[in-house]
Structure 1
Amino acid sequence: MSSTPWLRRDGTPRLEYGADYNPDQWPREVWDDDVRRMREAGVTIVSLAIFSWARIEPADGSFDFGWLDEAMDLLHANGILVDLATATASPPPWLTLAHPEILPVDKQGNTIWPGGRQHWRPTSPVFRTYALRLVRAIASRYQDHPALTAWHVNNELGCHNVFDYSDDAARAFRAWLQDRYKTIDALNDAWATAFWSQRYTAWDEILPPRQAATHPNPGQQLDFKRFSSDALKDYLIAEREVLRSFTPDVPVTTNFMVMGESKNMDYADWAAEVDFVSNDHYRQPGPRSADELSFSANLVGNIAGGRPWFLMEHSTSAVNWQPINLAKRPGELERDSLLHVAHGADAVCFFQWRQSRGGAEKYHSSMLPHAGADSALFRSVVALGDRLKELAPVAGSPRTPARVAIVFDWQSWWASELDSHPTNRLRYRREAFDWYVALMDQGFRADVVPLSTDLSAYDVVIAPVLYVVPASLSTRLSAYVAGGGHLVTTYFSGIVDERDQVWLGGYPGALRDLLGIRIEEFAPLPDNERAHLDNGLTGTMWTDRIDVTDPAVEVLASYKSGDVAGRPAVTRRAVGNGSAAYVSTRLGPEGLGVILTDLAERAGLTPDLPADLRGRVELAQRGDFRFLINRTDDPVDISALSPSAPTLAARGVAVISA
């Protein structure tokens, strides 16, 4: 098995372990204690200089690398690799004072001022000139340093500045549109500008979707989302090319943010632009917090194409930016870390190494907390380092594909949640996550995959809220079903093409013939209404007035209440050895579990876990290693799968041979 792609040493398998390191926040005498404690904890790698532009370049064109030289040398002397950042994430005060035109502008026309971070326009030519000058200076300085193992472009691109409505953005947006549509007539057709007298006669008339009197053009909104993701990707490529010109053999990455509702960057599209995928993940509060972590890590692993990836940031305990910031409970630090490893991470890193004394993130947990090394948290950090050393043989192992895939599509995420829709309660990611939880509850492994994935390898493909379906995708899904695959999709799927224009003739539009159903009008539900099904399930948020149009369609459940009473709620159309099923209401994980049991049986699919572990244990697999993750707060008997270690501790993780 190949070694971790960013490890430039002897190739021995190793799970990297570390954190963001910010020595410039501390006096020099603290650094020696830092590296001593790092070695005690088993740290092998740190990300360095992420927010150090003002320290590296304290004045225009004047560089101070002395402190960074010393930090790099110290880390190398202690056997610690460096993922060196380009330091461009936040421009220094002297730059924004001299060039306020690099500052982003919000949709109301307000300038986003310095004082926080990421106060720069992705499309600003002035910002790019200064930023790439800095990248060249850093790359030239450290291209041959023995500690350098990877380059870290910027930081969390788009976390705070993805949507910029400035004049720079307007010019870049027009250029992007010209490249996409070629002619103004093609754009007018795509955006349906005959509506509300919006027809354009020249490219210069087009603006970003700034604050409007009422609902901005949906085609304009969707294309601005696409453009904004592409603008950041273009900036990533610009830094990457500078780095490769100095160090063609040093891998380049940047930290994605596949987690929660961070939806504005199409990471599946970005993945090809980095040498290895990295991700930051922070758990959200709630009863299924760890399951959301699993969902995100699973998606990252498939964005990475099943290859190992780098967990660049997560937290040892509490964060600082939630309304109420709760410390992690015993076992959660290790469980959260190993969940990422289970889904393909070959590096486990935190923000940050030493907890800050001041600044906005001083109450964000770290590997070395305010309480110091004599603390339960640091002892847990050391214990995790020891566990990762034991699991070193896992490094380099690819994710083992499941038999079920959940399709995740950024285009449908963006477009399905635009305004002026049948309901504003729809949440694309929530529906996909519900299916993931339902599969885990029923004992199935599943892959969360980008739409570009080859689906033919999967027995069952679930495509929830697949709102955007170009003709080519409709053909592709039909071929999948005709080839014996089992497709499951949901309400508000197949509705529009890539221009966000409705497929005419009745819903679900592009999937209507494949599913063998027709819907004339949507039937969303008010918040206080429920839809009762004849199989005992209850739906919320959405229903459909379904008519069956193909005699091959079997009605698996019908509505028995409301305006849709007597109409189908869940359908399945057999196509040779394949099938296409439709679920027309939001059922939540529990209700979906009932549907899944039926659909899986019809597809000849059996659970991956024995009955007594379903709902309590998650199973993930990498090569020859199976990860059993306790989803509960109680010990679980896993003797059926692991006779030598029959008990899985509360919130524990066991790794056994496949």
Structure 2
Amino acid sequence: MSESTAVRTAAADAGWLPGVGTISYGGDYNPEQWPEEVWVEDVALMREAGVNLVSVGIFSWARLEPQEGVFDFAWLDRLFDLLHDAGIRVDLGTPTAAPPAWFYATYPDSRVVTRDGVVLGHGSRGMVSPSSPDYRRACERITRALGERYGAHPALALWHVHNEYGAPVSDSYDDHSVRAFRTWLQARYGTLDGLNTAWGTAFWGQTYGEWDHIGAPATSASVVNPAQRLDFARFTSDALLACFTAERDILHELSPGIPVTTNFMATSCPSMDLWRWAREVDVVSNDHYLTAAEVRNHVTLALDADLTRSLAGGKPWILMEHSTSGVNWQPRNVAKRRGEMARNALSHLGRGADGILFFQWRASRSGAEKFHSSMLPHAGTSSRVWKEVVELGGMLSNLAEVKGSRVHADVAILWDWESFWAQDLEWRPSVDHSHRERIVAFYDQLWRDNVTADLVHPEADLSGYRMVLAPASYLLTDAGAANLTAFTAAGGTLVVSCFSGLVDENDAVRAGGLVAALHDVLGVRVDELLPLREGETLALSGGRFDGLEADVWSEDLVVTTADVAATYASGPAEGEAAITRNVHGDGVAWYTSTRLTGAALTAFLDGAYADARLVPERSLPEGVEVVRRRSTDGRSEYTVVLNHGTEDVLVPGAGRVIVGDEVDGTPRVPAGGVAVAVSEIG
């Protein structure tokens, strides 16, 4: 074990946040925006609201290092002491997401260059080129200074490196990045022959004879080599990760035993392979904001939370940011209604979060986010939002026993950023076929059925699941395909949707043809892809699918060993197989060659549920969300009920209510309300 790994392991083994024995509650605190007399008021109100953890310093680089190499920590010293005296722990940020104006002026070649060649300047948020040696050196200097000064402070509970890596920009096409990309490629392929083979450069005469001839895949006359684009996405994720690990290692050295995190944006910032990142943080944390335009955004919130728990390997995690009400950057920033903030918070908690934090504590008067909601709004303590913030703090203080409990899932959904990067490139068969839409559609059906799901990488250990769904696995490595095949042969139920298993890790179609990697387990071949015209639909025929419709996509299937569950009653493949079921070893694999929604998707998953011996829970009214956590000793189960509907609901069998109301021992959850109950098991 290396020294760095040993230090990191010690930090992780320290348990949850040092000194924190309850659910963490609080948010981003930016006191540099306010005169110091306001700080005293803030801390008093934090205590009233039940706040026990705040994130500070995230955008404070210019205040902390007003000139290069000249530091001012006096104000932060006073703030630390003020928070510590109030019993509020600190999540201290390294401010490397916000380089000061002096940095941009001194090191102009460190600025981000877009794919179109535009040089981005100072005055917004975000970082400079992650491959700039000057940027990395400056990051290490400010991180070391913070670690030396606050690494042993008794108020410190967590280190928070940077802020939302990859947002608002991730990839840079500057000269530093081009040179670093070449070095990365040499490490990956070793030789130019290896690179040319992987990229298929014989196509369009793109063969390279010198490493220095390879550039970043900037905008060109037509579509740039997709394998090169895919590798640049991988490189970008690795370049950002190298920035994080450099800061993390300094903090482990100077502040042993204090965990280090960085706030992910699990489903909304697609530029990082978070499976790799999650292995490098001591505690997984995530930011989530509702998309106001989505009517069922509480479902995509749940998906985000389940993905974050999965990145944490099932361990507790932190919701580092969400909003008390509206945000400020969407076209229509819809405010949350009464009770929605609590439902959002407890959905995250029910899906494994042991920390519930917001952006931000006090609403800013100036700047781009002055219309972003906060724990303490512009309207002050008389506002509805403030009263709900205090109510939520009271709820969470009653849920200390939930801390550390885990969520169990019998179902897994495949999630692979590399596949998404590849599928999102140009010249795919249909602009209407989206990996995001497919995953959300399958997840939404599980949500309606109150079936809890993990999100997993295709090469992950699948042995603990009864059913694995592959709604959108366009890119599938040989190892991933073998893993799915072995899972099915061992008795699992595999569910695969169209346009999956098409290419290998280099975005190349396999020699065996379309879906060659899954031929054996699915018992079908795909002779031709048959996307539909905009708005066109297909009729299905057979069994539970008779009279149902599909859209967007179809395929010309050749059935080898599978049974046909449904055929096309119309469309380009009329009369041919549309949905199949194949027995493989001790398990079963289902395949749909078209896009299923609504009743057709319900029918499809009903067949898979039966094979997996799973029973969907459909007795509760529409809009009632039920999630469960189990104590690590297996003796207690915590049931979180969120009523997104318009009618009150009783939830029998949930146990003793610890948050919310009950009627004759049964949780009663009013429309828009929440409840948490505990039952003894085993």
Shorter-chain TM-score bucket reads over 0.9
Cα deviation 1:231-273 (Å, max 9, x = unaligned): 111110011011111112111000000134x211111110011
Match of 2:507 in 1: 500
CA displacement at 1:591 relative to structure 2? 2.7
2:142 aligned with 1:121, yes or no?
no
Output the amino acid matched with 1:655.
V
2:490 aligned with 1:487, yes or no?
no
Distance 2:597 2:424 in 1: 19
Match of 1:601 in 2: 610
Match of 2:658 in 1: none
Cα deviation 1:425-450 (Å, max 9, x = unaligned): 22212211111111122342222233
Distance 1:225 1:526 in 2: 31
* Residues 470-619 of structure 1 aligned to structure 2 (within 5 Å): 470-534=477-541, 535-550=546-561, 553-607=562-616, 609=617, 611-613=618-620, 615-619=622-626
1:438–1:590 CA contact under 8 A, matched in 2: no
Distance 2:548 2:26 in 1: 47
Match of 1:172 in 2: 180
The one of 252, 262, 266 equivalent to 1:258 is 266
Distance 1:4 1:621 in 2: 26
Cα deviation 1:621-650 (Å, max 9, x = unaligned): 211212222232332232354562342122
TM-score w.r.t. structure 1 length? 0.96
SS at match of 1:373: helix
The one of 301, 315, 326 equivalent to 1:318 is 326
Output the amino acid matched with 1:549.
T
CA displacement at 1:328 relative to structure 2? 0.2
TM-score w.r.t. structure 2 length? 0.93
The one of 355, 364, 367 equivalent to 2:375 is 367
Cα deviation 1:138-162 (Å, max 9, x = unaligned): 1111122111111100100111231
Output the amino acid matched with 1:158.
G
Distance 2:323 2:384 in 1: 15
* Residues 349-360 of structure 1 aligned to structure 2 (within 5 Å): 349-360=357-368
Distance 1:45 1:428 in 2: 37
Output the amino acid matched with 1:476.
N
Match of 1:247 in 2: 255
2:91 aligned with 1:83, yes or no?
yes
Match of 1:237 in 2: 245
2:286 aligned with 1:279, yes or no?
yes
Distance 2:443 2:372 in 1: 30
Distance 1:556 1:213 in 2: 46
The one of 472, 497, 515 equivalent to 1:465 is 472
Cα deviation 1:511-532 (Å, max 9, x = unaligned): 1222111111101112121111
Distance 1:267 1:119 in 2: 19
Cα deviation 1:110-154 (Å, max 9, x = unaligned): 101111011411110011111111111111111221111111001
Match of 1:625 in 2: 638
2:131–2:177 CA contact under 8 A, matched in 1: yes
Match of 1:7 in 2: 17
Distance 1:651 1:449 in 2: 31
Cα deviation 1:188-227 (Å, max 9, x = unaligned): 0000000111000111111111011000000001001111
1:519–1:545 CA contact under 8 A, matched in 2: yes
Output the amino acid matched with 1:580.
A
CA displacement at 1:7 relative to structure 2? 2.5
2:458–2:483 CA contact under 8 A, matched in 1: no
Output the amino acid matched with 1:542.
W
Distance 2:76 2:435 in 1: 44
Match of 1:290 in 2: 298
CA displacement at 1:4 relative to structure 2? 9.1
Distance 1:237 1:219 in 2: 27
2:667–2:677 CA contact under 8 A, matched in 1: no
Output the amino acid matched with 1:409.
D
2:654–2:666 CA contact under 8 A, matched in 1: no
Match of 1:41 in 2: 49
2:196–2:202 CA contact under 8 A, matched in 1: yes
2:27–2:357 CA contact under 8 A, matched in 1: yes
Cα deviation 1:367-413 (Å, max 9, x = unaligned): 000000111110000000000011110001122x2211111111111
Match of 2:5 in 1: none
Distance 1:125 1:632 in 2: 53
2:654–2:678 CA contact under 8 A, matched in 1: no
Match of 1:103 in 2: 111
* Residues 330-345 of structure 1 aligned to structure 2 (within 5 Å): 330-345=338-353
Output the amino acid matched with 2:549.
T
Residues 605 and 365 of structure 1: CA distance in aligned 2, closer, same or farther (over 3 Å) = same
Distance 2:27 2:469 in 1: 36
Distance 1:452 1:314 in 2: 31
CA displacement at 1:6 relative to structure 2? 4.1
Residues 654 and 279 of structure 1: CA distance in aligned 2, closer, same or farther (over 3 Å) = same
Distance 1:138 1:528 in 2: 57
Distance 2:324 2:290 in 1: 11
Distance 2:613 2:136 in 1: 55
Alignment: residue pair count:
649
The one of 652, 659, 664 equivalent to 1:639 is 652
Match of 1:657 in 2: 678
Uncovered stretches (5+) of structure 2, i.e. residues with no partner: 1-11, 631-636, 656-663
Residues 452 and 346 of structure 1: CA distance in aligned 2, closer, same or farther (over 3 Å) = farther
2:167 aligned with 1:159, yes or no?
yes
Match of 1:377 in 2: 385
Output the amino acid matched with 2:438.
E
2:467 aligned with 1:446, yes or no?
no
1:113–1:119 CA contact under 8 A, matched in 2: no
Distance 1:161 1:226 in 2: 15
2:579–2:591 CA contact under 8 A, matched in 1: yes
The farther-off stretch of 465-474 and 444-453 is 444-453
Uncovered stretches (5+) of structure 1, i.e. residues with no partner: none
CA displacement at 1:29 relative to structure 2? 0.8
CA displacement at 1:57 relative to structure 2? 0.8
Output the amino acid matched with 1:436.
Y
CA displacement at 1:602 relative to structure 2? 2.9
SS at match of 1:346: strand
Cα deviation 1:63-84 (Å, max 9, x = unaligned): 1111111111100010000000
2:110–2:134 CA contact under 8 A, matched in 1: yes
Output the amino acid matched with 1:568.
A
* Residues 409-420 of structure 1 aligned to structure 2 (within 5 Å): 409-420=416-427
1:4–1:308 CA contact under 8 A, matched in 2: no
Distance 1:75 1:569 in 2: 62
SS at match of 1:533: strand
CA displacement at 1:95 relative to structure 2? 1.1
CA displacement at 1:590 relative to structure 2? 4.1
Cα deviation 1:276-305 (Å, max 9, x = unaligned): 000000011211100000001001001100
Pairwise CA RMSD: 1.6
The farther-off stretch of 638-647 and 98-107 is 638-647
Give aligned-pair identity as a percent: 46
Match of 1:456 in 2: 463
SS at match of 2:324: coil
SS at match of 1:613: coil
The one of 148, 152, 158 equivalent to 1:150 is 158
